[in-house]
Amino acid sequence: MSQRILQINDLIREHLGVILLREVSFKVGILVTITKVNTTPDLRHSVISISTFPEQETDYALKTIGHEKNRIQTSLHRKLHMKPLPLLSFRSDLTERNADVIERLLIELK
């Protein structure tokens, strides 16, 4: 992955973090964190991976973000000064859950 794409991923992650915090209202007690941003080399699409606490509220968080997706994307595009502007898609990051399962299996093997 090129250095430019890595910088764009970091920039998108930073701006989206602020947008999710200030402009999207989740239920009280739900924390949504952006864990990864993967932008295609042609800059047309970005896949945003999110982690949710508590984990059982992941579906709710994804639905809420889905309802607000156009507003989130518009806010991000106002902050980014580049062409083309990437289309956003959000997905759940299962890294924590998978790491937890592997850790439990390793403990059971001992």
Q: Tell me the HSE value of 99 on the side-chain side, using a 13 A CA sphere.
A: 4
Q: What pLDDT sits at residue 99?
A: 79
Question: With pLDDT > 70 as the criterion, what percentage of the chain qualifies?
Answer: 100
CA angle centred on 99, ends 96 and 102, rounded to 5°: 155
| Number of structural domains found in the chain | 1
pLDDT per residue as tens digits for the range 53-74 = 888 888 999 999 999 999 999 9
Say if residues 30 and 53 touch (Cβ distance below 8 Å).
yes
The residue-averaged pLDDT of 74-103 equals 87
Virtual torsion, Cα 11, 58, 44, 73, nearest 10 deg: -70
pLDDT tier at 7, thresholds 50, 70, 90: very high
Tokens of 77: 């595009």
pLDDT-derived band at 27 (thresholds 50, 70, 90) equals confident
> Residue 49 sits in which domain range?
3-109
Domain with residue 71: its CATH number is: 3.30.300.20
